[in-house]
Amino acid sequence: MYVSHLSLLDFRSYASADVELEPGVNAFVGRNGRGKTNLVEAIGYVATLGSHRVATDAPLIRSGADRAVVRTRIVRGDRASTVELEITQGKANRARINRGQAVRARDVLGVLRTVLFAPEDLSLVKGEPDGRRRFMDQLLVLMMPRVSAVLSEYERVLRQRSALLKSARASRRSGGSSRAESAAAELATLDVWDARLAELGAEILSLRIQLVDALRPAVAAAYEQVSDADGDAEIAYRSSLPALSAGNPPELSTGPGDNFADVGHLRDLLLEALVTARPQELERGVSLVGPHRDDLVLTLGGLPAKGYASHGESWSFALALRLASFRLLGGDPQNSADSPAFWDPDLGTDADPVLILDDVFAELDVRRRQRLGDLVLPARQVLVTAAVAEDIPAALEGVRFHVEPGTVTRD
């Protein structure tokens, strides 16, 4: 698939903009702060309903305006669809597909699929686990949009449960008899939240374990291609469940015959762990068991990438994670042989996700630049941003756009 048209209204620095895009390489060149990233951020937003730069929607709306509109035309095979998103501060976003009735923003997921490379990706390797959890979850949503509902419901249950633990702890501390009584009654509802947490948590856990399994060979292959080194890049899922991490090494995989990914089994394990953890949870007032405590472990030649890998190696690893995602999403036919069993993608025609490389080349040395350029070239559409045109590898010829504040012109 590719994006053939992008139009913005009061999005970030743009009062309005209309850009016609082509299949193949499209490069946006302009000095820093001119609004290159805003363009690809808008396209990424249509695919994921989130920005890769900020957690909230408020900064996306041009200051002074009360709503931003992003309209994209997406061509897949010989069919074109338009997706229009209206981002309003403090309100639910409104969406429209093919100029039809307004739908919930969530229904837009799946129409456009993107894989985005950005300087922020370095934190996938060097940063905290929450970034890696988000990486897994976002990829799952791209593969199966229904997962977004599971994730947001889990999030809600988790928040309710944590609030309950916190207030129980507070009333235990204050020690008043009437408050202690009501705390006891509240705790009776903890079982109910545990059941929901285990049910939704098991589903997320199962999906993530299978995802990591499917991603593992692709990451190892991509790392080799990007770095041209025999680095042995490995990924593994680390669960907070004691039963799953008791072995040595603590990471787990789903070999044939293992039932690690069986939802019913995982739910029982979660419930068991919740019983064990309860005294400690009540003591600390936080939820200690579940997929929100897990991590994706990255190792290079057997050593943890975080802390041991050099800057260049960390970059290669981050790129390998993104490239592997791209291939998993149907971008590379040579990889389809070991496409994951848990995901029957029914890719249909022209399923290639759109590749976005936001300011990535400036961060890489010349050799990595060229290799990455060669690797992404076969993609149906590649959107590149760069401050200077020389940063873009020669292999990535295509359409060039010049970006000045508020305007985009085709060279």
**Out of 47, 118, 125, 164, which residue is the one contacting another protein (CB under 8 A)?**
164
């633990």: which residue's tokens? 165
H or E segment to which residue 401 belongs: strand 398-404
Strand pairing partners for 17? 8
- How far, in Å, CA of 85 to CA of 347, rounded? 24
Is 102 near another protein (CB under 8 A)?
Answer: no
What minimum distance in Å lies between the beta carbon of 321 and another protein?
27
Backbone φ, ψ for residue 169 (5° rounding): -65, -45
H or E segment to which residue 289 belongs: none
By beta-carbon proximity to another protein, the closer residue of 121 and 203 is 203
Cβ atoms 295, 238 nearer than 8 A: yes
What minimum distance in Å lies between the beta carbon of 51 and another protein?
24
For the segment 170-229, give every residue that binds another protein (CB under 8 A). Answer: 182, 185-186, 188-189, 191-193, 195-196
- How far, in Å, CA of 337 to CA of 327, rounded? 11
Stretch that binds another protein, among 48-56, 153-161, 233-241, 336-344 (CB under 8 A): 153-161
Q: How many positions of this chain bind another protein (CB under 8 A)?
A: 25
**Out of 153, 224, 262, 268, which residue is the one contacting another protein (CB under 8 A)?**
153
What minimum distance in Å lies between the beta carbon of 203 and another protein?
11
By beta-carbon proximity to another protein, the closer residue of 164 and 236 is 164
Stretch that binds another protein, among 80-88, 141-149, 274-282, 383-391 (CB under 8 A): 141-149
What minimum distance in Å lies between the beta carbon of 63 and another protein?
18
H or E segment to which residue 340 belongs: none
- Tell me the three state secondary structure of residue 203: helix
Strand pairing partners for 109? 112
Q: Other C-beta atoms within 10 Å of 110: how many? A: 15
Backbone φ, ψ for residue 54 (5° rounding): -130, 155
Strand pairing partners for 382? 25, 355
What minimum distance in Å lies between the beta carbon of 150 and another protein?
8
What minimum distance in Å lies between the beta carbon of 371 and another protein?
39
**Out of 145, 242, 301, 398, which residue is the one contacting another protein (CB under 8 A)?**
145
